[in-house]
Amino acid sequence: MNAVQDARPQYLLALAQLEKLFAAVTPADLDRPTPCSEFTLRRLLNHVVGGIHRFAYMGEGGRAEDIVPAIEDPSDEGWPAALARAAGRATAAWADDAKLGRPTFAPWGEVPGGMVVGGYVMEAVTHSWDIATALDNGFVLDEGLAHTALAVAEMVLPPESRVEGVPFAEVLPVAEDADIHARLAAWMGRTA
């Protein structure tokens, strides 16, 4: 992916997929474990919404390290509304095409904005798999988005990058005939 590739359309699709998943979550689901082992479903939802706010903040010109990628439980508002608010903010923050080439301070360093967008497609799609796996309700994930996320992950998270302090486990083996979602999960160090 070059520095100014526009992954915003894929990010919007990833947000739409997250919206459907968030809408399927019930209060009884919130304490379920997720493949993202440090998070229950409740904590993962808070992390996803917080991560979208962090992504928006970067699009607004802020530095990633200024924002914790998590929110508190959204109380009466509910997670779908909290997600919609964060998604609207992110969409507005990244609407200007010029931001794709602008130096942006991401969690992994200063990179062009287009690379930040690609990284957050990977984040949204991976966490969509985490949520769908935790819910175990037959939700069908978008294969095209998973292909995009895996291509980004293979580029920005090579196996040798998995060192202490990097929030991704080692790449796991996967069957040659595994579907794209299983391949993405394994690349991100997750098992179902």
pLDDT in tens, the chain (192 residues): 444 479 999 999 999 999 999 999 999 999 999 998 889 999 999 999 999 999 999 999 999 999 999 999 987 779 999 999 999 999 999 999 999 999 999 988 899 999 999 999 999 999 999 999 999 999 999 999 999 999 999 988 888 876 666 667 788 999 999 999 999 999 998 876
Nearest to 131 by CA among 32, 13, 11: 32
Nearest to 86 by CA among 11, 184, 3: 11
In total, how many domains does the chain have?
1
Burial class of residue 144 (count of CB atoms within 10 Å of its CB; 0-12, 13-18, 19+): exposed
Nearest to 94 by CA among 61, 70, 143: 61
In-domain check, residue 91: yes
Find the CATH number of the domain harbouring 83.
1.20.120.450
Give dist(CA 84, CA 66) in Å, integer.
22
Burial class of residue 148 (count of CB atoms within 10 Å of its CB; 0-12, 13-18, 19+): buried
* pLDDT for the residue 108: 85
Please say whether the beta carbons of 162 and 143 come within 8 A.
Answer: no
In-domain check, residue 66: yes
In-domain check, residue 103: yes
In-domain check, residue 173: no
Please say whether the beta carbons of 8 and 94 come within 8 A.
Answer: yes
- C-alpha 106 chain-centroid distance: 14
In-domain check, residue 89: yes
Who contacts 93 (Cβ-Cβ below 8 Å, separation ≥6)? 55, 56, 57, 58, 59, 60
In-domain check, residue 12: yes
Domain that holds residue 78: 8-145
